[in-house]
Amino acid sequence: MILLSGAAAGQEEPASLRKTSRLEQEYAIAKTSASYFIFDFEARTVALKARGFVLKEWPIAKVRTWGRIPGGKAFPLEKKSAIHQPQRKDITPRKDGAESEPAKTAAAIDVLEIDKMPSHFTLELPDEIRIKVRPDKKGWKGFWSGIGRIFSRGIGRSAKTVFRAVRKKPFTEIEIFFAEKKDAQGVYWSFFEGQKCLLFF
């Protein structure tokens, strides 16, 4: 179920113009030295990139969107939250400048940390944008989970969309489902607060 509103509602932007617009948006963020994320809901991928090069990419199994389509600009991650917040290891360099043993194994520690990352979490962006990430459940678990979302979230979000539109307080809420739990964990581990992202619908 997708409920979208905005200037583009009711008319589809030509593919060539959409591609040009996306290239311009990415160029503006890629010319810096910082890495960034691209949530491409059309291609159903989440990508970590730097200077236009893909460092890591995760396929999206399903996506649901409510509210308005955000404007074409980069959004910094304000906060990521989960029920159980993971604790990252603190790697402290030695005062004499020499590389400590923990620093030598930092890469190995980071790899092991991914398995401890949450697979259910929320990413909060400016302009009332929230992205909820979770693994896609299969079989009967997925069926009953979907039924629960229809009643507890789907109907409520539809009402919220109309209510916010009347009060002129638009919002955007996105649910991303990954086929693999490790993909959701990888996004959590890789996306840091303050890091920018682009949303392509």
Structure token pair of residue 15: 């593919």
pLDDT score at 8? 45
pLDDT digit string, tens, across residues 124-149: 999 999 999 999 877 545 444 555 55
The three-state secondary structure class of 106 is: helix
Domain-located, residue 176? yes
How many domains, in total, are found in the chain? Answer: 1
How far, rounded to the nearest angstrom, does the alpha carbon of residue 25 sit from its chain's CA centroid? 17
Q: Is 31 part of a structural domain of the chain?
A: no
Strands 129-135 and 172-178: parallel
Quote the radius of gyration of the chain (alpha carbons, Å): 19
- pLDDT of amino acid 95: 55
Closest CA to 122 of 175, 61, 199: 175
125 lies in which domain range? 60-84+110-196
Residues in the chain, how many? 201
Q: Mean pLDDT throughout 66-87?
A: 88
Structural contact between residues 118 and 134, judged by C-beta atoms closer than 8 angstroms: no
- What are the tens digits of pLDDT across the range 151-201? 555 556 566 555 555 556 778 999 999 999 999 999 999 999 999 999 998
How many other CB atoms sit within 10 Å of the CB of residue 89?
12
